[in-house]
A and B are shown apart, each in its own frame.
Chain A
Amino acid sequence: MVSRSRFFSPRLTVGNRPGASASPGCMTLFFGVFLLFGLGFLGFFGYQAWKEVRVRTVYRETTCVILNKRLKENSDSDGTTYAPEFTFRYTVDGRDYTCTGYDSFGATSSGRQGKLRVLAEYEIGGAYPCWYDPDDPERAVLVRKVSWMYAFGLIPLVFVGIGLGGVVWGVRNLGKSPEEQSASRAPAKGGALQPDWTQVLPPVKVVPGQFLAKRLQRGTSQGCELGGLLLFSLFWNGIVSVFVWHVVQEWQSGHRPYFLTLFMTPFLLVGVACALWLIRQLLVAGGVKETLVEIEREPVRPGETVSLRFAQPGPLSLYGLSARLICEEKISYTRGTDTYHESHVCEDRELFQMPAMQVPAGSSWDQTVSLTLPDDAMHSFHAGHNDLVWKIVVKGEIKKWPDFEHAFPFRVVTPKARRELE
């Protein structure tokens, strides 16, 4: 009998490990709750919208007299919200009706001053237009306007989208083993699979070069980086500003919302830091022409020597410019609802280090270096939560301007794989 090392002992397991994934049944239930929650809230906003449509299409206009007005307040641990509230009388078919309210939505919100301004627009005893429901004349509104509160209707849409996606995934995978679930994402051919092995290679952007065969592109394009940063900054600061505005109004109205102020401070600081980082990146993008990195061959195989050409267009005044070869393992993992990222540098080699220099306008600083990969270099790898990335990192220290650091990923593959790719 052939002896086997411990590692190669056949493993017989009862259960689902290793390689198990979340049970489709559990996922269906989990996302089903998401879906129901989203549908419930969507139903509420749908009902409000339906009322709004009725106000505009079915309700009839008449004239009412304001009998009373007050600022409606709702207080809880998050603070106080307000709404204008009027009691008004109107006549339908010779019969008097008295109604209390303002608009069809009837919700309270932050912003005390705005509500006081609305109250000031109406005088007690004054006559104003109002709209009543002909099917139920006891219902009436003083204004026909679309409330900004409908914007909150977008939130349940997110829940519905995520919940529906999860439920569909769960139902489609019911009764399937983890292997079958995974295989269903690969192209099938006659029962057995012919998966595309290039899927485990990272997507690398390469264009024809001017001096060497190929020009490497930055891992994240400048436009994407700035666009993403701008969107995040707008989204974050947009939400935070609503609460900051509320806090400011609270202070102005004489309240002392110490807890809310303290609670909002870190969120505000993140928003400010994000805006400052955006400005910094805009300065880098606007003030520095991108470094050009060209390579003799791509993908590269382990042990191979290739030429790399760097070009830095001017005008630029540099304290220093350097380039490094980096190989990095990058992983992500989920704990609860948070996703964490970690990386480990397996290879870090300096390609060049230039001292301070001046690159005049209209010219370019060029440097060609030779790069030899280790014989035992692992090939590039890309999967959902695990990556092995090879890249050239160019770092520039600029006089009186923010420094820059750009990564130019490239692929390393086995000789056989490269022959197939070529």
Chain B
Amino acid sequence: MTPLASVKFDDDRRDYAPGDSLSGRLEVTTMPHADAVVVKAEFSVLWYTEGKGDQDIGVVHLERLWENRSQPAGEHHFSVRLPLLPLTYHGHLLKIHWLARLRLDLRPGQDVLVDEPFNVLAGD
């Protein structure tokens, strides 16, 4: 059993323009077992490359939410100003994706990632 965690964007938007504000909320509702502790919870907004090339990653926002919590259940609101570049791209050898990521570092247990993808598209 994994913790039920989610990343939700306001208005369920998926397409954003460069410079837009990306806002929403994070939720952690259940822990996998009673003695599990969230050593670290991080929220990040990042782009990453996908394709044949080695992966590149660019983090544009990083927040440490909680540390060493046995009951981290709760909500957290976020609002991030997106940079002007790069845009989402689907090429032949190279793809650029954007996502909002909640990372829970659990003890005992492995990291849990909740990824919510979105697009950054040319808006003008």
- Which residues of A approach B to under 8 Å, CB–CB? 2, 7-8, 10-19, 21, 177-180, 182-183, 186, 191-193, 195, 197-201, 302, 329-334, 342-344, 346, 378-379, 381, 383-386, 388, 413-417, 420
Contact = CB atoms under 8 A, between A and B. Distances in A.
Interface of B: 2, 5-7, 12, 14, 17-19, 40, 42, 44, 46, 48-64, 80, 83-87, 89, 91-94, 96, 101, 103, 105, 110-118, 122-124
A213 to B, nearest CB: 22
A383 B49 contact: yes
A38 to B, nearest CB: 26
B52 A331 contact: yes
Nearest to A334: B54
A365 to B, nearest CB: 36
B112 A7 contact: no
Contact of B112 (A12, A329, A386, A415): A12
A384 B83 CA distance: 19
B53 A385 contact: yes
A328 B80 CA distance: 32
Nearest to A18: B48
Q: Which of A11, A16, A186, A302 has the most CB of B within 10 A?
A: A11
Closest A-B pairs by Cβ, 7 of them: A331-B53, A383-B56, A197-B83, A385-B54, A183-B59, A179-B44, A11-B115
Contacts of B46: 19, 179, 182
Contacts of B110: 14-16
Contacts of B123: 416
B115 A10 contact: yes
A186 B58 CA distance: 9
A360 to B, nearest CB: 44
A178 B103 CA distance: 10
Contacts of B118: 8
A193 B60 contact: yes
A15 B5 CA distance: 15
A346 B6 CA distance: 37
Contact of A333 (B12, B50, B54, B116): B54
Given A183-B62, A193-B61, 10 more contacts: A7-B117, A8-B118, A11-B113, A13-B115, A14-B111, A14-B113, A193-B60, A385-B49, A385-B53, A420-B84
